[in-house]
Structure formats: C-alpha cells, structure tokens
Structure 1
Amino acid sequence: MNQAPRLDPALAAGNHQFLADYQARHFKWEAAGGVATITLNRPERKNPLTFDSYAELRDLFGRLRYAQDVKAVVVAGAGDNFCSGGDVHEIIGPLVRLKAPELLMFTRMTGDLVKAMRACPQPIVAAVDGVCAGAGAIVAMASDMRLGTARSKTAFLFNRVGLAGCDMGACAILPRLIGQGRASELLYTGRALGGEEGERWGFFNRLCAPEQVLAEATSLARSLAEGPTFANGITKTMLHQEWAMTLEQAIEAEAQAQAICMMTEDFSRAYHAFVAKQKPRFEGN
C-alpha cells in the first residue's frame, strides 16, 4: 500500500525553501552539511555594512525561517576583523542629509535585521576577531553564541558619534547577556571590550586562537546542525519569547513546547537508540 505523502506539496511549496545555492550580492555565502557561513567580505575597510548589505542580510535571515537545508549559521568577517559597523562614507555621510521619514526607514531596517536573526530557528554562531564595532557589535550580540579572540575589540560606540546606545535592540539584549551595570558602562561610554574581559563578562562563550576561531565556530555550528534541529529551534524560540513572560506563563509555554517535541520522530529515534546503546541519528522531524 502506498503511503500518503508526509507533507502536502502545496503546503511545502509555500513553506520549504532551499538556500544552499543562494547567490549573495553584498557578502560571501557558503553552505554545506547543513551549516551556512556568512562572511562580511570587505577586509580592506574592516568589513563595514552598507545600506545594501543591511537589506540583504535582513531579507536572507527572514528567508532562513523557511530553509530546509540550513540547520545552523556562522557569521564571520574576512581578514583579521569582524565588522567595523556602518560604513562611514556609504551610510553615516548620507544619513546626516536625510529627513525624519528616511532616517526612520533606515533605523527600522537595521532593527529588522536583528528581529530576523532572533526569529530564524537556526542557531547563529558569531566568530569574532579583531574589530567588532557599532552595528558589527550588534550582529555579534544578536547571535546565539559568540566565539572571540584575545585580540578582539567589541565596542557599542554609538555615543561616540552623538547617538544613543539604544540601537537595534542593544538596551534589551545586551543587559541580558552581561548584566545591567556592565551593559550601561559599554553603552554610555562606547569603550571597547577586550576579548579576555568579554569572556569574563559572558559576552563570549569562549576565546580561541585567531587562526582557529572560524574553524571552532564552524565545528560548533556543525554539532548543532547534527542535533535535533526542530527541538533546537523550539529552544531558540522560547529563549526569546520568555523575556516577556511571567514564570507561570513560561512554565506553561515550555510544557506545551516540550509536548510538541515529544511527538517528533527525533524523540522516538533517540529513545530507540538509547535502548539499543547506539548514538541517535537526528533528522529534524
């Protein structure tokens, strides 16, 4: 007897995308084995962002919500730096000539990048070396995990250019990573956070040698891609949504989320593998 298809083709058409062959225009994109790597690729300028790269990153992370062949993402910078923030000549210069509606269009676009990063189910690992400033620091902050180097310098330097530290979710996310007092210091002063200090403060999960940070970030992402990716996506969703919940709401939401995970084939496969004293094979379903 023929089994009915697991997913209606019409439903799949609207909700399944395959991005391994995506052709990026404003940064480098590679995908293999379930791990995609985004490389900000302007090393001669310390990999700054432009209007174009902001928009493409926002749209790509939005599409990752529906990607079937990308299970984890690495974000890195080319050369010896992560990202120097918004390009002074291509972003900062034009901004001083814009009116309020266009300025709000820009700030909403940059915030939408962070929202898309937090909304995609794939864990994001940032490989941070060298300069990680302004919007670059935000991209690292919005990732799920950060591997750094001793020579990395992370600076939320918005007040250095006459702006508030409340940029792209910094006042919401950064205190949750390193604490209110430490976040306040960085956002009020704009000073650089060194790699070792960043690890002590909890901004970095761990430090790596500069020549190894990308490889270790990729290895971490690969281990996540080989895990129960549906369940990992639920974990990411709950980590984000529970910021706005009471404890009672969070416990109930987690009860419902875990019950859904218990209906997956990954959960069943893990049980049978345990009984057979084998390593479970996760397929994300």
Structure 2
Amino acid sequence: MSLANATTLPLVGFTPVHFELNVAGKVATVTLNRPEKKNPLTFASYRELTDFFLAAQKEEDVKAIVVTGAGGNFSSGGDVFEIIGPLVAMETKELLKFTRMTGELVKAMRACPQPVIAAIDGICAGAGAIMAMASDLRLGTAESKIAFLFNRVGLAGCDMGACAMLPRIVGQGRAAEMLYTGRALKGEEAERWGFLNRLVTKEGLLGEAQALAAELADGPTFANAMTKRMLEMEWAMSVESAIEAEAVAQALCMQTEDFARAYRAFANKQKPVFEGN
C-alpha cells in the first residue's frame, strides 16, 4: 500500500492541522510532521491527536490505523520550548490539567476499536515512546532508538500509563530499567525485549506497517475490535473473571456474519472474505 494514492481521511469531518492524515482503502495513516525538530508534540497536537482517536471510535470505514513520523524519526516527545518551558511556570492546578490531558491521548488510542500500528524509525522518545507503547503493534528499524526520558528531566517514569503498560510489554525488570535510567533501546535490543514486534528496513518500514494494517483491516474487524477490548479489560481481572468475560465476547462474535462466512468458506475450501459484520 502506498500513500501515493491516499486521500484526506473523511473521518467524521475531521480535518487535522498539526499532523498529516491520509487514508488508502480501510487504513488511515497518521504522520507526525515536524521533521526539522524530530516531530515533537505540542499542546495543540496532543489535543488534536486525542480528538482524532476519539473520532475514530465512531468511524466505520477505517479498520486499522498506522502512526509514524516524517523525516526518519518517530517523535522526540514533548517540545522543549513549546511544552516543557511553559510547564515550569505553571501552578499545580494547571499542571494537573496538562498531565490529565496527555493521558487522554493514551486512553483514546486504547479505546478506539481499530488496531493501531506504530511504524518507528529513528528517535522515539518521551511522549513519542508513550504513543508507540499505547499502540497495539510496533514495527521498527535497526536505527530505532526508544527511550522513556522522563527521569532525565527530573520527572517520574509514571507518565501517561507507562508504569502500568510498559511492564506488560517488556516485563517488570526491563520496564524498571527503562523508566529509572531513561536509556535508549536500539532496534535490535527493542525487538529482543519485545517492545518491537519485528524489525524491517528503513525503506520498507511504512509499506510493511501499512500492509500489516491492511491485512488486519481485511480480517474479521468486529472480532479484532473485541480482541483489543478484551486485552484492555482483562488487565484488571482475575483469570476466572477473564475466562467468563471471554466466553461472553466469543459468543457475541459467533453471532456475526463473518463467523458464518468463515465456516462456509472452509466447507467450500475457499479463503474467507470478511466484511466486518
């Protein structure tokens, strides 16, 4: 899949200002596009990204989302001068408003039914690493550098859900190392630790991420959305509760036409064509 034939996404009338948004078929691609500064986030881009993922919850035509960065980097995190500088001058009430607002982005990414795939090259730090963490799948390159830098600026590693989510991806000890030291994981180590699902070439990164997104988008998307929801919900459940919740979820999926289509295709020795209903 190439962006050459992509068009602006008609997602509930959403028109982005602070990032690029394109769609090809059932796949939307979000591109953080301030390459001269390694794609940092600002107050405005945080809010707009959150609004996008909230709007995606009501979008029926887009079935998967790719998040990437322009110019050979994913994101350097919060802009030093446009975010960190102003934060130093804020009072507690304003600071709490800001930290809650940044957390809303992660909540929105996790709540949208579409699988979110991060295509990571170069710098992926701070809030950029959080966005990658909040994605469902992560593809990277050997040149990827993932770092949770909060302690480097005098802050705790418990930002935007990192202490809850990162241990579930890389394990408690490795998450503690990343959050206490702020050191960068290069691509091969990040894959070995499980933060990256796979390594690809720089040239093939976006294409492979979009191809994977298209594969998921052509699958049983009601069931995929259920899988994402249950992965989220079951963090706080006992095994017994999770088994019951999954029984209910799977019974609902068994009522879909996609389940019947898969059966008919199998019976006729054909590949099922899913339609998401």
- Residues 163 and 135 of structure 1: CA distance in aligned 2, closer, same or farther (over 3 Å): same
Q: Secondary structure at the match of 1:146?
A: strand
1:13-69: per-residue Cα shift (whole Å, max 9, x none)?
Answer: xxxx96186321110000121100000000000000000000011111011111011
**Structure 2 counterpart of 1:156:** 148
Structure with higher Rg: it is 1
1:196 aligns with 2:188: yes
The aligned residue for residue 79 of structure 2 is: 87
Aligned position for 2:249: 257
Q: Which whole-Å CA distance do the structure 2 matches of 1:145 and 1:204 have between them?
A: 8
Q: Which residue of 2 aligns with 1:11?
A: none
Per the alignment, residue 273 of structure 2 pairs with 281
Instruction: Tell me which amino acid in the other structure corresponds to 1:110.
Output: T
Aligned to 1:69: 61
Identify the match of residue 217 of structure 2 among 225, 241, 244: 225
Root-mean-square deviation over aligned CA pairs: 1.1
Q: Which residue matches 1:97?
A: 89
CA distance in 2, matches of 1:76, 1:20: 22
Q: 177, 189, 192: which is aligned to 1:185?
A: 177
CA-CA distance at 1:157 after TM superposition: 0.5
In structure 2, the residue matched to 1:142 is 134
1:116 aligned to 81, 85, 108, which one? 108
The letter of the residue matching 1:210 is K
SS of equivalent residue, structure 1 residue 221: helix
Q: What is the alpha-carbon distance in structure 1 between the residues aligned to residue 257 and residue 223 of structure 2?
A: 11
Task: Tell me the equivalent position of 2:22.
Answer: 30
Q: Which residue of 1 aligns with 2:4?
A: none
Q: Any idea what the Cα deviations from partners look like across 1:177-223, whole Å, max 9, x if unmatched?
A: 00000000000000101110000000000001111111110000000
For residues 59 and 101 of structure 1, what CA distance do their matches in structure 2 show?
A: 23
Which of 120, 125, 146 is the equivalent residue of 1:133?
A: 125
Contact 1:128 1:146 in 2 (8 A): yes
Normalising by structure 1, we get a TM-score of: 0.93
Give the percent of matched residue pairs that are identical in Structure 1 and Structure 2. 70
Distance in structure 2 (CA, Å) of the matches to 1:21 and 1:52: 18
Q: Alpha-carbon deviation of 1:108?
A: 0.4
Whether 1:216 and 2:208 are equivalent positions in the alignment is yes
Q: 2:239 aligns with which of 226, 244, 247?
A: 247
Counterpart among 263, 270, 273 of residue 271 in structure 1: 263
Structure 2, unpaired ranges of 5+: 1-8
2:12/2:55 contact within 8 Å kept: no
Deviations 1:49-106 (A, max 9, x none): 0000000111110111110111000000001100000001110011001111111111
Q: Which residue of 2 aligns with 1:6?
A: none
> Does 1:44 find its partner at 2:36?
yes
Moved over 3 A (4+): none
User: CA separation in 1, counterparts of 2:150 and 2:70?
Assistant: 23
| Conserved 8 A contact 1:20-1:30 | no
Q: Which residue does the alignment assign to 2:3?
A: none
* Structure 1 stretches lacking a partner, 5+ long: 1-16
Query: Which amino acid is 2:69 matched to?
Result: G
In structure 2, what is the Cα distance between the partners aligned to 1:32 and 1:199? 28
Which amino acid is the alignment partner of residue 148 of structure 1? G
Paired residue secondary structure (1:44): helix
Corresponding residue number in structure 2 for 1:10: none
Structure-2-length-normalised TM-score: 0.95
CA deviation map 1:247-274 (0-9, x unaligned): 0000000000000000001111111111
C-alpha distance in structure 2 between counterparts of 1:178 and 1:201, whole Å: 6
Whether the 8 Å contact between 2:118 and 2:209 is mirrored in structure 1 is yes
**In 2 relative to 1, CA 151–209 (structure 1 residues): closer, same or farther, beyond 3 Å?**
same
* 1:8 aligned residue: none
Q: Do 2:14 and 2:52's aligned partners in 1 also have CA atoms closer than 8 Å?
A: no
